[in-house]
Amino acid sequence: MELRDFCRIFTDRRELFFWIFAGFVLVSLLILRFQPERFETSLTLNVSRSGTQATSDYTYGQFYRLQADERFADTVVRWLATPSIRSDIRDASSVSADVAGSIDAKRFSSQMIAVTYVSRSESGFGDMAHAVPDILNRETMRLNALSKDPDWFVILADAPQVRDARVSARLLLPLGIALGAFFGFFGALTAWYFRGPRK
């Protein structure tokens, strides 16, 4: 088939194309209008040390210290995935189980961890920005209970950043238009295939 044949299919069934296209755009507008509120908080955690070792002996270089920080940051990420830590954070911050269960942590560098969690309202985060580092530091101190290392790990938290996590119109409307155009033309082509050209 040549290009003009495809154009003829489109023009002969432009009403079908229009209704399919309009349907996708309408669904996009309805999703945009009626989607529930959803907010996401980003919290940056940094692995630091509580002090320095006062010794003249060689202990380790800065490279090995970064490696140790990296391994400990991985441990913190795994802590945040456990039900017991999430339950402790929920109890300490007075949030719902859904908010505590939405915690997602990723290590971005040797010492930096990005933590995100979501809520259906801006007031639903409780005091999680303080509860998260407090609970993690409590677990950290438990690991150091016997050795009493003065150069032990400590978790520091930056100020939390809250954003509207709903799907934006900039994403949803172009997606609806693109899908409407694609399926509109596909529907016209399917109708032509099963019914043949119009007389």
Taking only the tens of pLDDT, the chain with its 199 residues reads 566 666 777 777 778 889 999 999 999 999 988 888 899 999 999 998 876 555 544 455 556 777 888 899 999 999 999 999 999 999 999 898 899 899 999 999 889 999 999 998 888 888 999 999 999 999 999 988 877 888 889 999 999 999 998 888 888 899 999 999 899 888 888 887 777 555 4
DSSP alpha helix (H) spans, the chain: 3-12, 14-34, 62-79, 83-93, 97-101, 128-143, 169-195
CA distance 70 to 149: 18
10 Å Cβ neighbour count for 183? 16
CA distance 23 to 184: 10
pLDDT of 196: 57
Whole-model pTM: value is: 0.72
For every residue of 128-144, DSSP letters joined together read HHHHHHHHHHHHHHHHT
Contact yes or no for 99/117 (Cβ under 8 A): yes
What ranges do the domains of the chain cover?
3-35+168-195, 39-164
pLDDT of 44: 95
CA distance 179 to 29: 13
pLDDT of 168: 86
The tokens of 24 are what? Answer: 């996708």
Which CATH fold topology does 39-164 show?
Answer: Alpha-Beta Plaits (3.30.70)
